[in-house]
């Protein structure tokens, strides 16, 4: 087993045992995708109100925007146009250049788009790409890891790492991403193991890139148990991954993959307590935005909680709850291409979690 010496400063909230530096992650068992997630994916096309062919991940062009000194945000050139059409957008990447090297937050899903990303980085600097932080286990945010130099260290939360290295979850996720890209572009994709694992909940990993301090933060379970955020205190910028989603004029919505609505809300409140009100939000999909989008996400979660708990306690069937709650919330939160899908997923995930509690 290989161990690496790296330049990392650790906050007092993160014990020395909370970061594992290793070349091979644990092969501990991990829960596979829940029946609720499978049902939501199978019950309707992934983007039911979007009739266009969904191979734009393979045909898009990546561009970047400087959002702070030596801080860049990369996204699809057609992002704003697609947003105004209420359509889904490809994943984004943030990269930060310090005196010692580069840190990348999330990679792209296909080889071609990652080549564009690497070209954008190399236009700015020849310094080594030291780290990649994966904020989520969803494939469109980490498939590109394999195309980066072998010397680049991959940082993940241990729960994310377990999901990425689970053959069943990886296969299911790859099948889903295949609805967004030409499947041929994904044939060569294999998971790349993490080098640095964050193992503690509600913790901060502080990295010194050389005149750029980066905080990799965990606020608790959100979409997934191991979701991470990348905060730049000197620039007041935070990369949110999938827990920030710019989809104006419609609402992209949080995705309740794990079914624990109370933990999701609690963790989201922890996140909002931390983020400065004037911070720039770099979302996992979309364009740079303000904290307002995070406030809207929290409001949705609380509104959703009231309705889904009422339906469950009233013994409304899950299928009827999907129909009723989706219709009730559509005026305020509907209109976006994925609205019906994430409502279906969220309601089924909640019901599944409640039924599991009864059994236990």
Confidence of residue 319 (pLDDT cuts 50, 70, 90): very high
How would residue 252 be classed by pLDDT, with cut points 50, 70 and 90? confident
Q: Is the pLDDT of residue 251 over 90?
A: no
Q: With bands split at pLDDT 50, 70 and 90, how would you rate the model's confidence at 1? A: very low
Looking at residue 247, its pLDDT comes to: 65
Q: What's the chain's Rg over C-alpha atoms?
A: 19
Pairing outcome for strands 102-105 and 129-133: parallel
From 59-63, 148-152, 294-298, the region with the lowest mean pLDDT: 59-63
The DSSP code sequence of 271-301 is: HHHHS-TTPEEEEEES--B-THHHHHHHHHH
Nearest to 212 by CA among 320, 104, 83, 59: 104
pLDDT bucket at 23, cuts 50 / 70 / 90: very low
Kindly report which listed range (51-60, 194-203, 241-250) carries the lowest average pLDDT score: 51-60
pLDDT, mean of residues 161-168: 92
Higher pLDDT, 5 or 247: 247
pLDDT digits (tens, 9 = 90+) for 86-112: 777 889 999 999 999 999 999 998 899
Phi, psi of 75 (to 5 degrees): -155, 170
pTM recorded for the entire structure? 0.86
Which candidate, 155, 143, 66, 67, places its Cα nearest to that of 112?
A: 143
How sure is the predictor about 55, in pLDDT bands with cuts at 50, 70 and 90? low
Q: Is the pLDDT of residue 30 over 90?
A: no
pLDDT in tens, 116-130: 999 999 999 999 999
Determine if residue 70 is left, alpha or beta; phi over 0 gives left, psi from -120 to 50 gives alpha, anything else beta.
left
**CA 137 – CA 172 distance, rounded (Å):** 12
> Is the separation of the CB atoms in 263 and 223 below 8 Å?
no
Q: What's the rounded mean pLDDT across residues 170-193? A: 83
Q: How confident is the model at residue 250 (pLDDT cuts 50, 70, 90)?
A: low
In 122-186, the DSSP E strands lie at 129-133, 153-157
Taking phi over 0 as left and psi of -120 to 50 as alpha, with beta for the rest, 26 belongs to beta
**Bridge partners, residue 129, by sequence:** 102
User: Rounded CA gap, 171 and 109, in Å?
Assistant: 14
The answer to whether 177 and 108 have CB atoms below 8 angstroms apart is no
Distances (CA, A) of 139 to 164, 174, 186, 212, 331: 8, 7, 10, 28, 31
Which tokens sit at 115?
């080549």
**For residue 132, which phi and psi values (nearest 5 degrees)?**
-120, 130
pLDDT band at 136 (very low <50, low <70, confident <90, very high): very high
Q: What percent of the chain lies above the pLDDT cut of 70?
A: 82
Q: What is the DSSP letter of 149?
A: -
Tokens of 28: 């501990």
Question: Mean pLDDT throughout 271-299?
Answer: 93
Q: So what's the pLDDT on residue 79?
A: 84
Q: Computed from CA positions of residues 81, 77, 339, 301, in that sequence, does the dihedral angle turn out positive or negative?
A: negative
Residue 54 has pLDDT above 70, yes or no: no
Banded model confidence at residue 8, pLDDT cuts 50, 70, 90? very low
Which residues sit opposite 133 in a β-bridge?
Answer: 105, 155
* Range among 141-150, 184-193, 350-359 rated most confident: 141-150
The tokens describing 97, both together, are: 């250049």
What distance, in Å, lies between the first and last C-alpha atoms of the chain?
38
Mean pLDDT value of segment 60-80 = 93
Encoded tokens for 217: 């933060």
The pLDDT value recorded for residue 246 is 76
Q: What is the mean pLDDT of residues 202-214?
A: 96
pLDDT at 333 over 80: yes
């Amino acid at each position: 087993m290989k161990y690496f010496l790296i330049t990392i400063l650790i906050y007092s909230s993160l014990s020395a045992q909370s970061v594992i530096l290793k070349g091979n992650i644990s092969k501990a068992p991990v829960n596979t995708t829940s029946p609720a997630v499978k049902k939501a994916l199978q019950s309707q096309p992934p983007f039911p109100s979007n009739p266009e062919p969904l191979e734009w991940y393979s045909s898009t062009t990546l561009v970047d925007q400087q959002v702070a000194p030596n801080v860049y945000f990369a996204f699809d050139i057609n992002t704003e146009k697609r947003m105004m059409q209420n359509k889904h957008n490809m994943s984004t990447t943030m990269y930060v250049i310090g005196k010692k090297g580069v840190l990348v937050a999330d990679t792209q899903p296909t080889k071609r788009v990652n080549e564009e990303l690497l070209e954008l980085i190399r236009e700015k600097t020849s310094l080594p790409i030291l780290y990649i932080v994966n904020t989520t286990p969803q494939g469109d945010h980490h498939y590109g890891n394999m195309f980066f130099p072998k010397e680049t260290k991959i940082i993940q939360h241990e729960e994310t790492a377990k999901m990425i290295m689970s053959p069943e979850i990886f296969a299911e996720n790859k099948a889903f991403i295949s609805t967004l890209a030409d499947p041929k572009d994904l044939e060569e994709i294999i998971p790349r193991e993490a080098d640095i694992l964050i193992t503690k909940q509600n913790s901060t990993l502080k990295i010194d890139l050389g005149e750029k301090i980066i905080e990799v933060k965990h606020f608790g379970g959100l979409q997934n148990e191991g979701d991470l955020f990348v905060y730049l205190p000197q620039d007041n910028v935070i990369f949110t991954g999938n827990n920030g989603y710019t989809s104006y004029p419609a609402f992209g919505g949080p995705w309740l993959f794990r079914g624990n609505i109370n933990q999701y809300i609690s963790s989201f409140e922890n996140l909002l307590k931390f983020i400065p009100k004037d911070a720039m939000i770099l979302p996992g999909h979309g364009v740079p935005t303000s904290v307002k989008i995070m406030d809207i996400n929290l409001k949705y979660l609380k509104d959703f909680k009231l309705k889904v708990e009422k339906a469950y306690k009233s013994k409304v069937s899950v299928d009827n709850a999907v129909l009723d709650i989706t219709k009730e919330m559509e005026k305020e939160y509907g209109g976006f291409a994925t609205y019906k899908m994430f409502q279906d997923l969220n309601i089924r995930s909640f019901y599944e979690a409640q039924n599991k509690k009864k059994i236990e």
